[in-house]
Every structure is written in structure tokens, then in C-alpha cells.
Chains A and B, each alone.
Chain A
Amino acid sequence: MAKKITLNVPLNRVEGDLDINVTIEDGVIVEAKSIGTLYRGFENILQGRVALDSLVVTPRICGICSVTHLCAAVDALENAQNITPPAQAVRLRNLSLLSETIQSDIRQFFLMFMGDFTNEFYQDAPFYQEATHHYEPFKGASSKEALKKTTEILKVVAIIGGQWPHTSHIVPGGISTLPSLLELTVAQNHIEEIISWYEQNVLGCSLEAFSKIESVESFMYHLEENAETDIARFTRYAEYAQLFKIGKTSQNFLSYGTVHNPLNPSERLIKAGVIIEGKFEELDVSKIYEDISHSWYKQVNVKQKPFDGVTQPDMKSEDGYTWAKAPRYAKKVMQTGPLAQALVNGDKLLTSLNDKYGDCAYVRELARILRPAIHLKYARQDIQGAIESFGDMSYNQAVEEFSGEGVGLVEAARGALGHWVRVKHGKIENYQIITPTAWNGSPQDLEGNRGAWENALIGLECRDIKNPMEMGHVVRSFDPCLVCTVHAIDMQDSKQKYKFKIGL
């Protein structure tokens, strides 16, 4: 007889609180529900405030991608007012966002992902000692070095914007101040320092040489030749742990694109778009909506456009099991993040890896640690541009009271982040945010489609339910960030009694 159990597994080393409720039959996951257990109500905090306050409030939604939220908030306000920032401001914004994303990719890979290979689960693996030496939490030599490097790259943000995290130096119309030439050249040194560490330790060759590796074969050859790099070690561990086989969810990808062209800010040098069942399409924002059929909200208007979302709590709602809503694009469940960004942008190496292995946990995580290879090149370009254009204007707009609607779309470290704002006489009337983790970690929708990582868990073999390592690998390959589960609740309903289904 089949042995069937259902249990709640809390996952650490994700940002915020995440439980996965899984049903396991004969050691294989047959049902998975992603439960965001922390509700924060940030969108409410914005209502009624002066529009510029969003530059201070929204970065505090997420301590790990605060500059990204700032960029989205400013993009939305500029979109509403039709403002174009000057070229020098665009370079400094690019640098701020790139630095934050590079930091996040490195920290996630070293501190949150590689640590798993030092767990006793792998004590019989041939790499156990090596992995422990390099990646043990708090002690591993490579992880410690990587942590130091992330503090270096964040100095670039601090030089431009004062501090990291939680600054507000990006403002509608430009940037709050221009760093001195001395500071810009110091920032350039920091960037070069990271590049040389990344080339030597992570890649095993220069950024330029790496960009010529386009096929799976030449990539695997490169890893053999450079066995003592982080990507080579990761690949060896991944093979042993079968990460090539697990974690696939779909071939639907969403990216908002990033790195604005200083001379034509509406152009994104890493392009935006969607891939649906393997085919590229231009991004059409109007196709985005949120489904709340399996969320703890009152079931009126089950499919909501971002500008007119109605959100009332109802933990009695029959099918609800999470605070997250389920964003969908033209009825499709999309995955977003570094892999989506690379594929939408037509990256040759990741396209061939995805063609061969699919969107498995290995390819998804690899895309993350390879992304700095692209981003660092843009950072190099923008800091050089900023130095050459030193003294150019970096702010061109007086703050005005206005009314209007705007959308800010930005690529966060974890993928597509959107802010939707409606302003009336200078005050925020409505603010809606759809975060990358809302896309990746969404619950089921009305049609019964599971969210991206829920689906990736189905069919997964779980060898030890006390230590469900495979689940950890799959979910962490999406780099979840649950603190961004921000949805507002209308507390007019606060008198009702709540029935809780968590841990059912």
C-alpha cells in the first residue's frame, strides 16, 4: 500500500518566511503548496502619502533589493509625469542597480545555495570535505572571501547614494548628487577589484574570454580545464546531487530587461520580453493580472489588474493557503529571475544549456552565478562613461504636484518587479507591487495551474523527510524572497473571526 504523508516544511536561507506544504507518496512529492507565512501590508502604508515618500518607503519592503524598489518607484513616477533623466544620472542609476544585483547574486550563490553541500546529508559524497572547506556557513574559505567582495561592490552604491541598504538617492528627474571625480575613480577601482576576483575564482578566465563560450560542450570543457573554480565545483556537486534532473517547471519566462541606455533611457540594453512555451514575444504589460483564488482574500474579483486590485482578508476562503497572490501573464504561469533574463536576452550559452537540460535547478542556479559576467561588463562601461562625462548635469527636474498613473518595471536580482502607482494632487491614491517572488512562488490559480516552484516540486523524490535537501535545492534555485509579500489588506473586515489553515 502506498505510504502517503503530508507535512509542512519551513525553509531557511530564503529571505523571509516560507513554508512548503507537501504531500509525499512513496517518497515522491505528489502535491506542493507554497505558503507565504508573513504578511506585511506595505501598500497600505503608502496610501495618502506625498508621492516622493515612496522613495523612502518602498526600499524598506526588501532589505536585499532596496535599490531595485527605489528604481521601480522612481520609474513609476517618471512614467506618470513623462520625465526623462539626464544621461549621467542614467549611468549612476545603472551602476547602483548593477552593484546591488551583483551583490545579491554572489551572496545567494555562496551563502544560501552552496552551504547545502556542506550539510551532513552529503557526508558520504566525494566532495564533502572540499565543499566544507570552501562553503561551510560562517567558516568556508570561499564563502568568507565572497562575502568580503560583496561589501566591496556595495561601496559603489554607497559612493553614489550614501549607503546600502535603504538609500533614496535616485529621484524623479535624476540623482540626488554627483560624486566627485575622486569618488568615481575609487568606485572604478572597486569594480575592477570585483572583476578580477570573479574572473579568477568564479569563472577561471576573463569576462571577455568567457563571453566567447557559447555551447554546452565548450562550457564543460572550460570547467574541466578550470576545475578549481566555483562554477566547476558547483557543477560537480550538482551532478552528484542530480540537480540536472530536478526542479523543472516550464518554458515560460518573463524579464523586464535592465541597464538603460544613457543616451536613450527608454531603451534597455538587456532587453525585456517574455518567452511562452519556448517562443519569444514582446512584453505587453496589459497582459499581467493577479489571481487570488487560492490566496487568503475575499473572493470578489478573482482576477485583478494591478491598477484596480481589491484586497480584503478572508482566511475562511475555501481554497486559500497563502498571503501571496498569483500573478499571471496571459493566463500563463511565468518564471522570472537570472535564467529568464538571460534567455529573453538571447544569451547563447544559457540558451544552449536550457535546450539541453531544461530549466532544471542546476541551470537556474548557474544562470545566477554567471550573470555577474554580463553585469560587470556593463558596470565597467557605465563607470567609464560616468568618469568621462564628469561634471555633466545629473538632475533636471523640479518637484511638482501632479496627478496621473505610472508603471515602473525593473529587473530585480530575483526577476521582474513592477510598481503601479496612481497619484492625485501629489498624493498617492493607490500603490500596487508585484514582486519576482510573487511570480515564482505563487499559489494555484482558478484554472488549477500551480505556481512556478510548486510545479517544480511535483514528482521530486524526497529521500529523507527530516532533511528534505532536494526540496531545498529546487526552491532555493529560484532565490525566494518572501519579505516582499507585501499585499495590503483592507481592515474594514477586522471584526470577523479568522480561521487559520496553516499547518493543516
Chain B
Amino acid sequence: MKTQKNKTLYWLQSGGCSGDSMSILNLNSPDLFSFFSMLSIDVLWHPSLSTITYTEHDQMLEEIVAGERKLDILCVEGNVVMGPDGSGMFDTFRGKPKKDLLQQLAQVADVVVAVGTCASFGGFGSYEGDDIAGIGLQQHHNTQGGFLGKDFHSKKGLQVINLPGCPIHPKALESVLNLVARNLPVELGANNTPKCYYAPTVHQGCTRNEHHEYKVEENMFGEEGCMFFHLGCKGPTTHASCNTHLWNDVNSKTRAGVPCFGCTNTTFPHPSPFFETPTIAGTPLHLPEGVDRAYYLAYKDMAAEAAPQRLKKREE
């Protein structure tokens, strides 16, 4: 067996849009390439970045699967394509369903990481009637199991680490690889997502929090208000650090007047429509996590009365 001091990483793309790969390339200070070398991670293969030949790649895969070459980290981007009819032939590699390769790699990897919502929970193409019949690695929407089954444990005895997000936030991957590379434990919370990135809600840190507080609402695009009440913002019910670790280091969707679509949630891209808040008796159907409806509504009505003039909407 070839021994290696560095950790090795293999990146598999399956049913996805490459958006997660594009997103992690936005990592800054250190940039992605410096990050890998600082952590002594050897990227054995990334389909968009590697230059080894296809014959060398075939050989490498053979060695990994045979256990002759160590695989520390397997990152999977995109859902596992099962269609048509469970054959997986909508997504093939070297003429065979890619899901078969994924199964083999998952058995020999120390740690398996699901990168993005599609890999974590199914995401796009994972619903009844969707052609590709995509499923998540170890979870399908709200149900544990997914492709690898709920009893799957990697060689190191770990379940799949889910890093949802459409796309993944580069910090989510950075924080997990930081721990794995240092042999530190990754503490998982709900849906096997690491707490370090997914404990906060998107709502926390949004610059529109004060508008939310005083129920200064946005009714149509271009206003400066909270989008929870009309425009479908799912920030208070979605877990991710979008507003604490900013996107591209500068901003977030909600800050830019784009509602949170709940892209880290297990059922994304549902429910929709995205730009509307479903209501019950004129108030949002889904309230911020853990609040009591009656108290919340009473508080919001009083808060709206107390809203300071400076927050109130632009000219009528």
C-alpha cells in the first residue's frame, strides 16, 4: 500500500450544475489552491481542475477502489442519479452508471462529504415525476437513508457529512476541511450538518433585522424592508451562516433585496412559489423557528405601531 502523509481528496461530480465547484473557487484568504496546500490536502482529482490523462485517471480509480491507494476525503457534488428506472444511466462514467462508482468510492473513503443540497438531500430533480430521479447521498429530503442507506458509516465510522446550500457557501467546506485535516471531530447537528456553519439562521445578521423587528415590510422589489411578510423570505426558518459569513466576502441575497429561498433546507427547491409568503389569516404561515403564534402576532402588531419614522417606507 502506498502510504502518504498528506490527506487525499477525490471530488466526484454527479447530477449537478457545477455551482458548488464554482462557489468554492471563490474562497478568499487563503484562496482555494493555497488552502489545499496549507492543509496538506492532495487533490487527487477534480473534474474541472485536474490535468492528468483519462488513462491515468482510470488507473487511479482502480487503485483507490482496490484499496491500494488511500482515499481520505470523498467529496460528492450533485445528487445520485437513479433514473431511468433505477438504472442510473442518465449519468454515466465510462459507459457505466456513475452511481456504481460512487458506491465503490464511498466504501473506501475515510470521510464522505456531501457538497451542496443536491448531494445532501436530493435537491433539483429529486421529486416525483422528475426524470433523473435524483437522491441524496444519505438522506432523501427529510428521510434518512438516501443512496448509501441509513446504516452507512465510512471507514472511519462516520456518517455522511452534509453541507447543503445551493450552492454551498465556501466557508461551509472550509470549516469542515479545517477540522478533518487536523484530525479534529466535526460536530454534527440536525440532518447531519456541521454545527459550526449551520447552527445560525440566515435571518441572524441580516441588515433588515430592524425592519423585521418593527414589521416594516417589503411589498414589491426595490423597497427597503423585511421580505418575510410578503416576498417569501425564508431567512428565519433556514439554517446557514449567509448573513454572518458574507457571500463573496461582501454581501448576502437578503441584504440585496432577494428573499432567502431556503436553499439549505431538506426539501429545496420546494415549497414554492419563491417570491410569495404563504399566509394564514393574513399573517405568515411559517413563523420564525420556535415562536408562539399568538404572542408573536401580538408583538408584531405592537412593534409596527412603534416603528420609528426613519425605517418607514419610501414616499407613498
Contact surface of A with B, Cβ cutoff 8 Å = 8-17, 37-42, 44-45, 49-50, 52-53, 55-57, 60-64, 66, 107, 111-112, 115-116, 118-119, 137-139, 143-144, 147-148, 150-151, 154-155, 157-169, 171, 173-179, 186, 313, 315, 323, 393-395, 398-399, 466-467, 483, 488-489, 491, 494, 498, 500, 502-503
Partner of B90, one of A39, A50, A160, A186: A39
B73 to chain A, nearest CB (A): 15
23 contacts between A and B (CB under 8 A): A10-B57, A17-B93, A37-B91, A44-B130, A45-B124, A49-B272, A50-B273, A56-B274, A115-B49, A115-B51, A137-B49, A138-B37, A155-B248, A158-B249, A164-B26, A165-B167, A167-B258, A177-B257, A179-B256, A186-B250, A467-B53, A489-B84, A503-B92
Question: Which A residues touch B267, using CB under 8 A?
Answer: none
Are A489 and B256 CB-contacts (below 8 A) given A63-B21, A158-B250, A159-B250? no
B125-A40 in contact (CB<8A): yes
A151-B91 in contact (CB<8A): no
Are A177 and B19 CB-contacts (below 8 A) given A144-B34, A498-B84? no
B248-A164 in contact (CB<8A): yes
Question: Which B residues touch A315, using CB under 8 A?
Answer: 89
Question: Which A residues touch B221, using CB under 8 A?
Answer: 171, 173-177, 395
Question: Which B residues touch A63, using CB under 8 A?
Answer: 16-23, 167
Say whether B290 faces chain A, with CB atoms less than 8 Å apart: no
Query: How distant is the Cα of A229 from the Cα of B57 in the complex, in angstroms?
Result: 32
A177-B131 in contact (CB<8A): no
B95-A8 in contact (CB<8A): yes
Which B residue's beta carbon lies closest to that of A481?
Answer: B18
Secondary structure dominating the interface of B? loop
Say whether B146 faces chain A, with CB atoms less than 8 Å apart: no
Question: Which B residues touch A116, using CB under 8 A?
Answer: 51
Say whether B222 faces chain A, with CB atoms less than 8 Å apart: yes
B274-A52 in contact (CB<8A): yes
A162-B252 in contact (CB<8A): yes
Question: Which B residues touch A175, using CB under 8 A?
Answer: 221-222
A-B contact count (CB 8 A): 261
Question: Which A residues touch B17, using CB under 8 A?
Answer: 60-63, 66, 483
* CB within 8 Å of A: which B202-246 residues: 220-222, 224, 242, 246
B276 to chain A, nearest CB (A): 8
Are A399 and B220 CB-contacts (below 8 A) given A37-B91, A137-B50, A489-B131? yes
A162-B256 in contact (CB<8A): yes
Question: Which A residues touch B131, using CB under 8 A?
Answer: 39-41, 44, 313, 488-489, 491
Question: Which A residues touch B255, using CB under 8 A?
Answer: 162
Question: Which B residues touch A9, using CB under 8 A?
Answer: 54
Say whether B31 faces chain A, with CB atoms less than 8 Å apart: yes
A498-B257 in contact (CB<8A): no
Query: How distant is the Cα of A64 from the Cα of B226 in the complex, in angstroms?
Result: 30
B248-A174 in contact (CB<8A): no
Contact with A along B119-143 (1 / 0, CB 8 A): 0000011010111100000000000
Query: How distant is the Cα of A38 from the Cα of B85 in the complex, in angstroms?
Result: 15
A165-B22 in contact (CB<8A): yes
Contact with A along B2-24 (1 / 0, CB 8 A): 00000000000101111111110
B250-A155 in contact (CB<8A): yes
Give the most central of A137, A157, A174: most B CB within 10 Å.
A137
Question: Which B residues touch A161, using CB under 8 A?
Answer: 251, 253, 256, 258
B251-A163 in contact (CB<8A): yes
B94-A158 in contact (CB<8A): no
Partner of B166, one of A52, A166, A173, A466: A166
List of 4 A-B pairs having minimum Cβ-Cβ separation, nearest first = A63-B19, A503-B95, A177-B257, A41-B131
Query: How distant is the Cα of A88 from the Cα of B81 in the complex, in angstroms?
Result: 43
Give the most central of B13, B220, B256: most A CB within 10 Å.
B256
A441 to chain B, nearest CB (A): 16
A53-B272 in contact (CB<8A): yes
A155-B18 in contact (CB<8A): no
A66-B84 in contact (CB<8A): no
Say whether B266 faces chain A, with CB atoms less than 8 Å apart: no
Are A162 and B54 CB-contacts (below 8 A) given A148-B28, A398-B220, A494-B84? no
B91-A38 in contact (CB<8A): yes
Are A12 and B251 CB-contacts (below 8 A) given A63-B18, A144-B33? no
Question: Which B residues touch A502, using CB under 8 A?
Answer: 89, 92, 95
Say whether B152 faces chain A, with CB atoms less than 8 Å apart: no
Known pairs A37-B93, A63-B167, A147-B31; list 7 more (Cβ under 8 Å): A37-B91, A60-B17, A158-B251, A162-B254, A176-B256, A313-B131, A395-B220
Query: How distant is the Cα of A475 from the Cα of B232 in the complex, in angstroms?
Result: 43
Question: Which A residues touch B274, using CB under 8 A?
Answer: 52-53, 55-56, 168
Query: How distant is the Cα of A177 from the Cα of B51 in the complex, in angstroms?
Result: 41
Question: Which A residues touch B20, using CB under 8 A?
Answer: 63
Say whether B189 faces chain A, with CB atoms less than 8 Å apart: no
Say whether B194 faces chain A, with CB atoms less than 8 Å apart: no
Which B residue's beta carbon lies closest to that of A426?
Answer: B273
Are A498 and B125 CB-contacts (below 8 A) given A41-B131, A399-B220? no
Partner of B269, one of A14, A45, A494: A45
Are A13 and B125 CB-contacts (below 8 A) given A52-B273, A147-B25, A167-B258? no
Query: How distant is the Cα of A393 from the Cα of B314 in the complex, in angstroms?
Result: 12
B261-A56 in contact (CB<8A): yes
Question: Which B residues touch A37, using CB under 8 A?
Answer: 91-93
B199 to chain A, nearest CB (A): 20
Partner of B222, one of A17, A167, A395: A395
Which A residue's beta carbon lies closest to that of B116?
Answer: A63
Query: How distant is the Cα of A177 from the Cα of B131 in the complex, in angstroms?
Result: 36
Which B residue's beta carbon lies closest to that of A16?
Answer: B18
Say whether B32 faces chain A, with CB atoms less than 8 Å apart: yes
A496 to chain B, nearest CB (A): 9
Are A166 and B167 CB-contacts (below 8 A) given A155-B249, A177-B221? yes
Say whether B87 faces chain A, with CB atoms less than 8 Å apart: yes
Query: How distant is the Cα of A218 from the Cα of B129 in the complex, in angstroms?
Result: 58
Query: How distant is the Cα of A199 from the Cα of B177 in the complex, in angstroms?
Result: 36
Query: How distant is the Cα of A69 from the Cα of B4 in the complex, in angstroms?
Result: 43
A252 to chain B, nearest CB (A): 28
* CB within 8 Å of A: which B274-299 residues: 274-276
A158 to chain B, nearest CB (A): 4
B47-A162 in contact (CB<8A): no
A13-B48 in contact (CB<8A): yes
B46 to chain A, nearest CB (A): 9
Say whether B55 faces chain A, with CB atoms less than 8 Å apart: yes
Which A residue's beta carbon lies closest to that of B47?
Answer: A12
B231 to chain A, nearest CB (A): 9
Partner of A500, one of B13, B89, B263: B89
A176-B258 in contact (CB<8A): yes
